Amino acid sequence: MTTPGGGGAATAAPPAQPAPLAGARHLLGELYARPTSAIGTTLVALFVAMALIGPWLAPYGPTEQILSDRSQAPGAAHWFGTDRLGRDVFSRVVTGARDIFLLAGGGTAVAVAIGTVAGLVTSTLGGWWEEITFRLFDTLLAMPALLLALLLLGTLGPSRSSVLWVIAVAYTPIVARVVRSVVLSVKTREWVAAARMQGETLPWILTREILPSVLPALAVEAALRFSYAIFLVASLGFLGVGVQPPNPDWGLMVAEARDYVYLTPWSLIFPAAAISLLVVSVNLAADGLGRALRTEGR
Amino acid sequence: MLVRTFFCTRLGVHIAASVLTLALVIGTASAQTLSVGIEIPSQLDPAFASADSEILILSNVYDYLVEIDASNDVQPGLATSWSVSEDGRTWTFELRDDVTYHSGAAFGPDDVVATFDRLREPDSGLPTADVYADVTSVEASGPAQVTFTLSEPNPFFLYDLSDNHAVIVDADATDLGTTFDGTGPFRVASYNAEDRMSLEANADHFGGAPGVEQVDLIFFAEQAAAVSALRGGQIDLVLRMPTPLYQSLEGARGIERISVPTNAFDLLRLRVDRAPGNDPRVVEALKLAVDRASIVEVVTDGLAAQGSDTPIGPLYGAYYRQDVTPPARDVERARELLAEAGYEDGLELVLNVPDSGDRPDLAVVLKEQLDEAGFDIEVRLQPESVYYGDGGWLEVDFGITGWGSRPVPQFYFETMIACDAVWNEAHYCDPEVDALIETAGSTLDDDERAEAYAELQRILANDGPYVIPYFFPQFAALADTFTGMELKAFPGRTDLATITVR
């Protein structure tokens, strides 16, 4: 199940082009039409806000060690308690949001960009280009994303930018396949054939005739990829090969707190809850997005 | 989704393994059986074994020629007495003449000769070849006597003889990795690799019959799992665990926590054979930037003994100089020194850290302290096996290393600090220091040795490229239905025969 949510939206008919503002309003309306996607969207919005203003929200520095306040339970001074080095867990969780959005979001954006271009161009051209590109992608897909990530990080050495590139490499083939599945069903349609016969150039056909049909599926795929990317960043942090201490990476915080689960459970529970909540809400929102785009296409 | 599958599978395996272990444990437990949770042993040939779990099995199934007790004193083992010649180069050992192996074969001096000839074979590539490089011959000089001849005097020879690897094996033994015919207090009754090993008491052991009839060694992949099993009453003893697990057992019903101070330490070192470490001002700034007392308090929760940047800790008694301390923390002075050395905008260094024990915590606290004093530290964690495995730890400029506890300090100087030391990770080389190490390792005059060690401590505390903030204790926990355990600094050397049912 490597292309969730893709196929359904792929049958999208000729590009509908409503006014952008009305489109956005319609989309929001659809997202809030169902309680699950409404909750998901709201939570994602809250997390985005946290990522944007987190550092101003945090009462303490994320790496600040308050030696007099070590291993404090949650309370008025420290809402989520402090870890054994005296760091405020609330400040770390809130500040860590930005990192996870930058890494998971950035990696997903790169994967979507490269995957879309590769999928669009090679599938439309067909022939050897398509064969070579997708056999190459199949090779990458044969490996579980986490294994691939560990392999690449072992080679690149752990750093923020490596994590971002690892996500891009792991998810580009998946995005490309989703794009390809839509392109294959669309490229023989009459309006594409008509454009060809009119003598339109390839870039024009790609961007004006084919890309709009791909967009709904692509949007849902991007959102889903993002949720897996969050999980991947957290997993890498947990395994100690991703973001390095003392950065407030959620996965890393869970790993660091593992042995302290009896002593300072709060230093484990809050970052773990943040990861779960973000992944679930992105999934719910993506689900709603898919539904909304399908109804729009109808 | 692939990611999720990976975790589900892993979790599934863990749960299945735990359930299986639990079922097996409950099946055989009895009052006279001591169940010990240990890590999975992988190499049980005495020449190659190194992990605590492996040494624990060897030291309880076999015997050493001489034993080192909990207070670092030498005690008789298979040798009852010994003497050394005037020049310190000929050691003669009287052996027990009534000892038999578990198989019934008689123990004799040939076994001692065969054991040490194997361990000291220069071309074998064995870690012990270095330890016994000064042994020129081992001979059976009587029906119950062996003589060792050395190329030079070695005041620590008895400690070398009790090296972890040096259990005495039958000269005719083959397949040392899979068959275990020792003389020790326990014989191997059954062994399922990666699951468990059952030992039964050898009532004829020269040290007297062990306190329990049977010992089950249950293998755990993680110490946290072993501690949970101890909490649940499925096992009776865990011989080592990290600080937080030990702390979490405070007040746990039916469990006695045991800790012993050791000379094991975590070391921060800067490579000094190239920039930036080759500038003495940088080394001085490093030493001035560190607050050792605060590290002991925060990283070890006050449970460790504070260090003074030398490998000689309080446990070495007469050799340890309490009055020698590194310069007190002075952040301003450290900044000035770094500026003078040309790093007024901050000295960027990558701190390489193995991801075991308290080392990650130590790295994070050190980063805070050093950054405050004008350094700009980037922490890089690595799996311990990778970091030490490929020799990378000897190459990096800046790193943390964990050093195990040894009964004598000479080991650290010869393997870590001397110019030609195999593990000279700081690439440190000082002729004066080398001369002192040579003196300490060869003189038969204990006062002269103490004076050499004192001078070494003064030099290292003030100018050595090392920060040794603490000597950490060893933690174990025993069900309170048992008593009589003497935990050793190297927990694998703990004698399970002294444990009895309360």
pLDDT tens-digit profile of B120-136? 998 887 878 888 989 99
- Does residue B257 surpass a pLDDT of 80? yes
- Determine whether the interchain pair B6/A144 forms a contact, defined as Cβ–Cβ distance below 8 Å: yes
Closest-CA distance of chain A to residue B32, Å: 31
Instruction: Say yes or no for a CB contact (<8 Å) between A244 and B7.
Output: no
Q: Do B2 and A70 touch (CB under 8 A)?
A: no
Q: Which residues lie across from B198 on neighbouring strands?
A: B190, B216
- Measured distance CA(B365)–CA(B368) in Å, rounded: 5
Bond from prior residue into B127 cis (ω within 30 degrees of 0) = no
pLDDT at A298 (0 to 100): 44
pLDDT band at B7 (very low <50, low <70, confident <90, very high): very low
Task: Report whether A71 contacts A84 (CB < 8 A).
Answer: yes
Separation CA B495–CA B186 (nearest Å): 10
Strands B90-95 vs B74-76: parallel, antiparallel or unpaired: unpaired
Mean pLDDT of all residues belonging to chain B: 91
Contact residues, chain B, for A65 at CB < 8 Å: 298, 365, 368
| Higher pLDDT pick, A150 / B292 | B292
The token pair at A280 is 């679930």
Residues of A in contact with B3 (CB under 8 A): 144-146, 228, 231-232, 235
User: What confidence score (pLDDT) does residue A158 get?
Assistant: 81
Model confidence band, residue B18 (pLDDT cutoffs 50, 70, 90): low
Q: Give the whole-angstrom CA distance, residue B5 versus residue B159.
A: 51
pLDDT of B32 higher than 90: no
What is the number of other CB atoms lying within 10 angstroms of the CB of residue A197? 8
Q: Which residue has the higher pLDDT, B34 or B29?
A: B34
pLDDT of residue A296: 61
Instruction: Answer yes or no: is pLDDT of A153 > 70.
Output: yes
Cβ–Cβ below 8 Å for B368 and A231:
no
Residues near B328 by Cβ (< 8 Å), separated by ≥ 6?
Answer: none
Residue B24 pLDDT greater than 70, yes or no:
no
Residues of chain A found within 8 Å of residue B365, distances taken between Cβ atoms: 65, 85
Q: Which residue, B334, B213, B348, is CA-closest to B285?
A: B334
* pLDDT above 70 for A11: no
Average pLDDT on A92-104 reads 94
Residue B28 scores a pLDDT above 50: no
Q: Mean of the pLDDT values across residues B229-255?
A: 93
Mean pLDDT value of segment B86-110:
95
Conformational region of residue B263, where left means phi above 0, alpha means psi within -120 to 50, and beta covers everything else? alpha
CA distance A247 to chain B (A): 10
Q: In angstroms, what separates the C-alpha of B382 from chain A's closest C-alpha? A: 7
The pLDDT of residue B192 is 94
Is the Cβ–Cβ distance between A133 and A176 less than 8 Å? yes
The separation between the first and the last C-alpha atoms of chain A, rounded to the nearest angstrom, is 26
pLDDT at A175: 95
Cβ atoms < 10 Å from Cβ of A20? 8
A-to-B residue pairs, Cβ atoms closer than 8 angstroms = 72
d(CA A105, CA A226): 6
pLDDT at B346: 94
Which residues of chain A does B360 touch, with a Cβ-Cβ cutoff of 8 Å?
A: 245, 256
pLDDT at A6: 39
Q: Looking at residue B2, what is its pLDDT?
A: 38
3 state DSSP class of B444: coil
Decide if pLDDT at B304 tops 70: yes
What's the pLDDT tens digit per position in B152-188? 999 999 999 999 999 999 999 989 989 999 999 999 9
What pLDDT score was predicted for residue B6? 39
Per residue in B362-394, pLDDT tens? 999 999 999 999 999 999 988 787 888 777 899
Q: Give dist(CA B172, CA B26) in Å, integer.
A: 38
ipTM score of the complex? 0.78
Identify which of B3, B247, B364 has the shortest CB distance to residue A146: B3
Least confidently predicted of A228-242, B281-295, B328-342, B365-379: A228-242
Q: How confident is the model at residue A7 (pLDDT cuts 50, 70, 90)?
A: very low
- Non-local CB neighbours of B424 within 8 Å, separated by 6+ positions: B394, B416, B417, B418
User: Residue A89 — very low, low, confident or very high, per pLDDT cuts 50/70/90?
Assistant: very high
- A43-59 pLDDT, tens digit per residue, is 999 999 999 998 899 99
CA angle B9, B11, B14 (to 5 degrees): 110
pLDDT confidence bin for A19, thresholds 50/70/90: low
Residue with tokens 């006279």: B32
Closest CB to A245: pick one of B6, B244, B381: B381
So what's the pLDDT on residue A13? 45
Treating both helix axes as pointing N-terminal to C-terminal, what angle do B292-299 and B359-372 enclose, rounded to 10 degrees?
Answer: 140
What does the alpha-carbon distance between residue B342 and residue B189 come to, in Å, rounded to a whole number?
66
Q: What is the pLDDT of residue B29?
A: 45
Residues of B near A (Cβ–Cβ under 8 Å) read 1-7, 224, 242, 244-245, 247-248, 294, 297-298, 301, 355, 360-361, 363-365, 367-368, 378-381, 383
pLDDT digits (tens, 9 = 90+) for A185-199: 888 888 888 888 888
Mean pLDDT of B316-345: 95
Q: Which residues of B touch A4 (CB under 8 A)?
A: 1
pLDDT mean over B86-103: 95
Q: What is the mean pLDDT of residues B453-457?
A: 97
Structure token pair of residue A119: 């999928």
pLDDT of residue A21: 67
For residue B481, the model assigns a pLDDT of: 95
Mean pLDDT of B180-204: 95
Mean of pLDDT over chain A? 87
Mutate to test the interface with B, among A72, A150, A259 (most CBs of B within 10 A): A259
CA dist., res. A12 & res. B393, Å (int): 57
Q: Which residue has the higher pLDDT, A95 or B123?
A: A95
Quote the percentage of chain B above a pLDDT of 70: 94
Q: Is the pLDDT of residue B9 over 80?
A: no
Chain-chain contact of A65 with B368 (C-beta, under 8 angstroms): yes
Chain A residues with CB-CB distance to B under 8 A?
1-2, 4, 63, 65, 67, 70, 84-86, 144-147, 157-158, 228, 231-232, 235, 240, 244-246, 256, 258-263
